[in-house]
Amino acid sequence: MAILSEILRFILPPTKTRAAEFLNLRQHIAKTYNIRDQYFGYVIPFQGTGLPVRDHEMCWVIQWPSPTLPQRTTESHTQLNNLLSTTASSTSAHKARSLLFPFPSSSLPEVTKALTSPVCEFAIINLSSTAPKVDISFNRSMEKTFTDCYFAEGFKGGAWAYAVNTNDTDGTIVTDAEGMEGEVEEVELLKLEERRLACYYLGWESVELHHKYSQTALFAEEIDKLAPHFGPGTGAWYVKFEKHVE
């Protein structure tokens, strides 16, 4: 079955109280929506990734078992926003943010490999509005910069897709619940030709091995072709995930 992979990022102080509240939220998601696969972990600080990492930044991946939008209700929004500390949720810059990526069933084993690797890298290529997405050679480079990873030491597997809900690397804000209890959220999808935010889910044995690969000619071969089309928000972040277990 195809999935819609949601990446949520937010500030979560590493306290027992917050950990217990987050566990309750994951349990709610699992039971209410019959979600089998959830992964969570703090973003690993690492220099040179091109993207800022906030203190205590949690990354939570929910694998919604449908290519359509997640049917998350206002109740789930309330629980997520209640989880955030008063200070962290007081400004839009610190609210929970969401990115949505569709994957066909054929890609799921590789997506799972990335999420269950010792380190998962989310490599973002945020294309400029002038990027030639209809060009065959351009699309070949977008794909080959991924498949070349299979020749790298320490690469475990992965997949990539364009975000369907935004072209902002930060993601869309998970809004406060304003509707009736049980009301389903509404998310506006980008048209296929409008999607420019590509995310590569990449599994590695370590951050250092990926960094080593990034210094090679093979890595540079396609990146050098694509770089003129990079827009703001291009970069990466790393997470050591734990799978939610009921």
Query: Domain 3-243 is in which class?
Result: alpha beta
Greater model confidence, 152 or 86: 152
Mean pLDDT of 178-201: 78
Q: How far apart are CA 27 and CA 8, in angstroms?
A: 16
Beta bridge partners, 159, equal: 201
pLDDT tens-digit profile of 9-48? 999 988 898 899 999 999 999 998 889 899 999 999 887 7
- pLDDT over 90 for what percent of the chain? 71
Cα 208 from Cα 153, distance rounded (Å):
11
What tokens does 110 get? Answer: 């590789």
Domain ranges of the chain: 3-243
pLDDT the model gives residue 104 = 95
- Tens of pLDDT, residue by residue over 128-184, are 999 999 999 999 999 999 999 999 999 999 999 999 999 999 999 887 554 444 455
For residue 217, which amino acid is it? A
Coil, strand, or helix at residue 224? helix
Q: Give CA–CA dist 238/52, Å, rounded.
A: 11
Average pLDDT over residues 187-211: 95
pTM here?
Answer: 0.91
The overall average pLDDT reported for the chain is 89
